[in-house]
Amino acid sequence: MVVAYPPGGTADILASGIATGLTQQFGQTLVVEIKPSANGNIAAELDAKSPADRLTLLMTAPGPVAVNVSLYSSLPFDLRTAFAPVSLAGIAPLLLLVLVPQDIPVLTLRELLDDVKANPARATSHRRATRRPRTSRLNC
């Protein structure tokens, strides 16, 4: 089983539990290989290029797999044909962080929004002419 995220996280913990259960059920060791990087593309490529013998599984979240076709101009595999969903392994809360440079005196999202309104030249939002998503950032 190839895991697209760093060790110690939710995907690793779920993959290890699944591997233990499948090893006990089938009497063959299921190896968990951690391959984080490139928004899951390294693990996905490894899985996509494995023999189609149903012996290699990919543990990933749906977001990166569904979004990568828009984030990257080319991928070393075709997401539409390389994979088939097998099971929902688990549901975990997603933490989204808003970070600002330390020299911006804000502690809450409300303070950040007020600061952006007060200093509009410091904040930018743009959309590239490629298939990339809209991004926002503070210019500091």
Residue 96 above 80 pLDDT? no
- Taking the CB of residue 46, how many other CB atoms lie within 10 A of it? 17
Name which of 65, 53, 58, 45 is nearest 89 in CA terms.
58
- Contact status, residue 140 vs residue 112, Cβ threshold 8 Å: no
Query: Is the domain of 111 the same as that of 138?
Result: yes
- Whether residues 17 and 67 fall in one domain: yes
Q: For residue 15, give the nearest of 46, 50, 64, 61 by alpha carbon.
A: 61
- Domain-embedded: residue 119: yes
Burial class of residue 126 in the structure, from the number of CB atoms within 10 Å of its CB (0-12 exposed, 13-18 middle, 19+ buried):
exposed
The reported pLDDT for the residue numbered 121 is 79
In the chain, the number of structural domains is: 2
Claim to verify: residue 68 and residue 134 sit in the same structural domain: no
How far is it, in rounded angstroms, from Cα 41 to Cα 45?
6
**87 domain residue, yes or no:** no
pTM of the model: 0.65
- Same domain for 13 and 78, yes or no, is yes
Q: What is the pLDDT of residue 131?
A: 43
Q: Which domain holds residue 137?
A: 96-140
Q: 73 and 6 in one domain? A: yes
Is the same domain home to 6 and 55?
yes
Q: Is residue 125 part of a domain?
A: yes
Look at residue 89 and tell me if it is in a domain: no
CB atoms within 10 A of CB 3: 25
Q: Which of 37, 101, 92 is nearest to 61 (CA)?
A: 92
Give per-residue pLDDT as tens, 20-65.
999 999 999 999 999 998 889 999 999 999 988 878 899 998 777 7
